[in-house]
Amino acid sequence: MTLPYLPVLTVLPLVGAAVVLALPKSRPPQLAKVVALGFSLVELVIAVGMCAKFVAGGARFQLIEDYSWIPTFGVRFGFGADGIALVLIAMVAVLMPVVVLASWHDAEPGRRPVKTFFALMLSLQACTVGVFAATDLFLFYVFF
């Protein structure tokens, strides 16, 4: 059984955002930063594995995952990656840890809500990957 790369790359940051938001207020704000960085690094490792699995001369769309979502309207929960989507998803996976590290001192407790900031950054990552990987127009608009 192979790892469903694209759904995992879409759901993992949302799980990370939920974990960051669920952290108790009694914990230091640094923990939210560390959790966000950890989830973004795991995302990067999975994206590197996805890039290694992609066959350059293969089919146009690869790593396809397709599930029925709203059958009465013909809406499917479909993901796939071509060469351009692969590069864009890899770019998002590389940039997110950089963004988290770059905003490390900018997101201080007195300046803005730290947990909310990093949860929104992880949600943005999930939606961006979803936009690049969606093969169904309805799913594209959900992530957009």
Residue 43 confidence (pLDDT): 97
The predicted structure's pLDDT at residue 60? 87
H-run or E-run covering 40: helix 29-53
Distance CA 123, CA 86 (A): 19
Residue 105: per-residue pLDDT: 82
Phi, psi of 19 (to 5 degrees): -65, -45
Whether the Cβ atoms of residue 104 and residue 22 lie closer than 8 Å to each other: no
Q: What is the pLDDT of residues 92-137, one digit of tens each?
A: 999 999 999 999 887 666 767 889 999 999 999 999 999 999 998 8
Q: Which residue has the tokens 């059958």?
A: 71
Please tell me the distance from the alpha carbon of residue 80 to that of residue 60, in angstroms, as a whole number: 9
